[in-house]
Structure 1
Amino acid sequence: MTTEFSPDAVFTSRQTEQDELLAEIYTKLLKLGYVKGNFLTHVVEREQKFPTGLDTKSLGSDLPNIAIPHTEGQFVNTQLIVPVALENPVVFHNMTKPEEALEVRFLFMLLDTKPDGQAKLLAEVMNFLARTPEKKLQILFNLHETSSIYEFLQQNF
């Protein structure tokens, strides 16, 4: 496994609005030292210009949509994929059709210090989604215990 997950950087959230959700995750990541103080502004701006919502219908009819928010490497301190299970749907816009709003139930937030790092991490997430059977993805996207999410990803990513 080339990508890192950290047991202290797996979250669940009850937020219902994208801004509040991103702010909540940012606050936790900042306390852990994984991101810099200007991270939130840049991740929100980037999400507005280049949405990261992903329609998962092509992966399976019963899978929730996901989002993969990230920003440039100068605003982060480490390489990490941060999984976030959402208890309520949060609207993100579709990365391939930005005008389309998607209700998202799971995030993979990408942190990478290298200029091209997000592309590599994004490819790893997409490969994981493409090669993992729908039933296994359903298990992941229905987990709400951070330790269970971490264990699943350690075993399957």
Structure 2
Amino acid sequence: MVHMTVATSLFAPDAVFTSDKTSKEEVLKEVYGKLLKAGYVKGNFLSHIIEREEHYPTGIDTSPISKELPNVAIPHTEGEFVNARLIVPIALKHPIKFQNMIAPDESLEVKFLFMILNNDPEGQANVLAQIMGFLSTTPVKDLIRLFNLTSSKEIFDFMSENFKQE
């Protein structure tokens, strides 16, 4: 009997998206439909990720890293609503408003999402920290290239090559 090795990658080729939607809810709904079909999330995921975003916004102002970078957001919800441990990159064709994680009254134009799916209750902060580490240690020119990619495959390849797993 062949033992399958447990994939430790935080990325899956079928969990990387580009969206031309123009609102936060529309993007989350579109991505949710695809993640649900692939079995990565549960049926109650969408309402919870939208509700959590209302109370605990996830927009990240990237200007401290570089003024050249677009802002990003890291939407996520509790592990009981997901079936996997993944980072789901989502490239947005149009900037979408998210509230700032640090200053919730401030809205940010966001161009790229790193959605966290995490069914490991201990690991949420860890994955968030890894994303922050990735943003602060990846050369700005490489991040600019990432945030301008328009194909899911190119985004998957970039993240697989450049994201340091803890």
For normalisation by structure 2, the TM-score amounts to 0.92
Q: Secondary structure at the match of 2:142?
A: helix
- Whether the 8 Å contact between 1:5 and 1:82 is mirrored in structure 2 is yes
Residue in structure 2 matched with residue 43 of structure 1 by the alignment: 49
Q: In angstroms, what is the RMSD of aligned CA positions?
A: 1.1
Q: CA deviation at 1:137?
A: 0.5
Instruction: Answer whether contact 1:93 1:99 (CA < 8 A) is retained.
Output: yes
Q: After the TM superposition, which of the residue ranges 115-124 and 23-32 deviates more from structure 2?
A: 115-124
The answer to whether structure 1 residue 75 and structure 2 residue 70 are counterparts is no
Shift in Å, 1:3: 4.4
Structure 2 residue runs without a partner (length 5+): 1-6
Task: Report the equivalent of 2:109.
Answer: 103
| Identity across the alignment (%) | 57
- 1:1-51 alpha-carbon deviations (Å, 9 max, x no partner): 954100110000001111111101111100000000000011001000000
Amino acid at match of 1:100: E
Greater shift in the superposed pair: 45-54 or 110-119? 110-119
Gaps of 5+ in 1: none
Q: What TM-score results when the alignment is normalised by the length of structure 1?
A: 0.97
Kindly provide the CA deviation profile for residues 79-137 of structure 1, in whole angstroms up to 9, marking residues without a partner as x: 00000000001110000000000010000000010123221110010011111111111
In the aligned structure 2, how far is the partner of 1:114 from the partner of 1:144?
30
Q: How many residues align?
A: 157
User: Which stretches of structure 1, 4 residues or more, deviate above 6 A after TM superposition?
Assistant: none
Alignment of 1:134 onto 2:134: no
